[in-house]
Structure 1
Amino acid sequence: MTELDRYLQAATRDNTRRSYRAAIEHFEVTWGGFLPATADSVARYLVAHAGVLSINTLKLRLSALAQWHNSQGFADPTKAPVVRKVFKGIRALHPAQEKQAEPLQLQHLEQVVGRLEQEIQAAKAQADRPGLLRARRDLALILLGFWRGFRSDELCRLQIEHVQAVAGSGITLYLPRSKSDRENLGKTFQTPALQRLCPVQAYIDWITEAALVRGPVFRGIDRWGHLGEEGLHANSVIPLLRQALGRAGIAAEQYTSHSLRRGFATWAHQSGWDMKSLMGYVGWKDMKSAMRYIDASPFAGMALSAEKPVAAQIPNSSINTVG
């Protein structure tokens, strides 16, 4: 790889690169298209998958095709009027409500945390090292993911060298890059210690138990309790969360890794955070992105209104996201 190629590759996120590669393969191999493509072939490709693939998936496929043609020096066929009209027609004839992950409500967060704490105590009593490590890891991942509103890939890319945690005080986390950090300047996130459901103590307990001093925070654990050298893959967060919820007696089919982020946004909204503070804390750049994550149902916060179980509520004035 040349220096030029290295910098070009660094300009695109790994997840985006994989998605684009899969989209090009789908166009060429699965559908039988040819590259460079014509506007007519792209339009026929859209028609072939209208109503089968979601609008967002079709948009991703068009973005991948556009990126391939631009990077190879060919004219971009996705900008042709016929392609734009076909895509507009598909949106009109195949409207579909965007599927949203179920937000993890606070009472369910309490329920799964209680279950994991039971598993920790049981593992200690039975000298079950693998079970103890998994419960500690899952507890830290879920609490940190919820209270910090992190995406799954952000959780999986956390490095111990970039985390500073002080018991009873708070935690500071640095990410060299994130989805909202378009310029790759790096962002620092903070969250305080809580009296209950505390992400700070859960993080400290996990890295202490695992004896981790550098590298990825969250890793795979084999049947013998050996930790992997690489960080968890973002796709592994969904089964990890669903399994933990299932063990806690919560039907988990509708939950995804976005459930932690949506859960926090819903909790903050119901707790009276103004939108500007919420957007700054989570890292949203525009109102539309923020509103997609907030469960606006009038019943969403009912379990929170009767009693706020977290004694040290996160004050939106004491935490911020520093660019």
Structure 2
Amino acid sequence: MTELDRYLHAATRDNTRRSYRAAIEHFEVSWGGFLPATGDSVARYLVAHAGVLSINTLKLRLSALAQWHSSQGFADPTKAPVVRKVFKGIRALHPAQEKQAQPLQLQHLEQVIGWLEQEAVVARTAGDRPGLLRAKRDSALILLGFWRGFRSDELCRVQIEHVQATAGSGITLFLPRSKSDRENLGKTYQTPALQRLCPVQAYIDWITEAALVRGPVFRGIDRWGHLSEEGLHANSVIPLLRQALERAGIAAELYTSHSLRRGFASWAHQAGWDLKSLMSYVGWKDMKSAMRYIEASPFLGMTRLPEKPLAT
């Protein structure tokens, strides 16, 4: 790989690259399309999958086709008038119903963390090293994900070298890149210590128990209690969260990794945060993104936790 290719490769995120490859394969192999494509063939492809694939998936397929043609020096067929008109018609006849993750309400956050704390006590008493580590890891991941409003990919990229945590005070961490950081400038996040459900103490307990000094904060744990050298994959956060919730007696099928982010946003909204403070804290660039995450119904069982914006 040349230096030029290396920088071009770095400009596209891994998840986007994989999605684009899958989209091109679907057009060319599964559907039988020919590349380079024409506007008419792209329009027929859209018609063939209208009502089958979601609007967002079709948009991704168009973006992948546009990127392929541009990178290969061909004219972009997705800009053809017939493609634009067909896509507009699909949106009219098959309006997208946005699916949103169930927000993790505060009483459920208390319930699952309480359960994980009990699991840790039982595991330590029984000499169950893998069980103890999983309970500590899951508590730290859930609490940090909730109180910082992190996405699953952001949680999985946190590195110990980029974290400073002081018990009873707060935690500061740096992420070199994130979905909202389009310029890859990196961003520093801060969260104070809390009297209850504290992400700072949970983080300290986890890395202390696991004896971690460098590398990914959140890792896989095998049946013998050995920690992986690699960080968790973002896709593993959903089953991890659901399993913890189910063990705590909470129906978890509607929860995803976005439930932590939505849960925090809804809590902050009910606690009286203004929208500007919430957007700044979580990292949203536009009001529409923020409003999608805010749950209008009030939380039950609120505990005495910060009512003003946390430190940023």
Distance 1:4 1:65 in 2: 22
Distance 2:87 2:138 in 1: 42
Aligned residue for 1:189, secondary structure, equals strand
Contact 1:149–1:264, Cα closer than 8 Å, also in 2: yes
Distance 1:219 1:268 in 2: 29
Partner residue in 1 for 2:2: 2
Amino acid in structure 1 at the alignment position of 2:241: L
Aligned to 1:301, which of 298, 301, 304?
Answer: 298
Equivalent positions of 1:40-119 (< 5 A) are 40-119=40-119
Distance 1:194 1:231 in 2: 26
Partner residue in 1 for 2:264: 264
Amino acid in structure 2 at the alignment position of 1:48: A
Contact 1:192–1:314, Cα closer than 8 Å, also in 2: no
Distance 2:172 2:237 in 1: 22
Contact 2:170–2:191, Cα closer than 8 Å, also in 1: yes
Equivalent positions of 1:1-323 (< 5 A) are 1-296=1-296, 300-304=297-301, 308-309=302-303, 311-313=304-306, 315-316=308-309, 318-320=310-312
Alpha-carbon distance, 1:43 to partner: 0.6
Amino acid in structure 1 at the alignment position of 2:182: R
Distance 2:172 2:283 in 1: 15
Q: Percent identity?
A: 86
Q: Over the residues paired in the alignment, what is the CA RMSD in angstroms?
A: 1.0
Contact 2:268–2:278, Cα closer than 8 Å, also in 1: yes
Contact 1:133–1:210, Cα closer than 8 Å, also in 2: yes
Contact 2:130–2:221, Cα closer than 8 Å, also in 1: yes
Deviant stretches of 4+, over 4 Å: none
Alpha-carbon distance, 1:99 to partner: 0.5
1:262-288 superposed Cα distances (whole Å, 9 cap, x missing partner): 000000011110000000000000001
Alpha-carbon distance, 1:314 to partner: 5.7
Contact 1:51–1:94, Cα closer than 8 Å, also in 2: yes
Amino acid in structure 2 at the alignment position of 1:77: P
Distance 2:207 2:143 in 1: 14
Aligned residue for 2:88, secondary structure, equals helix
Contact 2:151–2:257, Cα closer than 8 Å, also in 1: yes
Aligned residue for 2:228, secondary structure, equals strand
Aligned length: 312
Distance 1:293 1:302 in 2: 14
1:203-240 superposed Cα distances (whole Å, 9 cap, x missing partner): 00000011100000100000000000110000000000
Task: Extract unaligned runs of 5+ from structure 2.
Answer: none
Distance 1:244 1:302 in 2: 21
Aligned residue for 1:303, secondary structure, equals coil
Contact 2:103–2:262, Cα closer than 8 Å, also in 1: yes
Give me the TM-score of the superposition, normalised by structure 1: 0.95
Aligned residue for 2:99, secondary structure, equals coil
Alpha-carbon distance, 1:292 to partner: 1.0
Amino acid in structure 2 at the alignment position of 1:301: P
Give me the TM-score of the superposition, normalised by structure 2: 0.98
Distance 1:270 1:111 in 2: 20
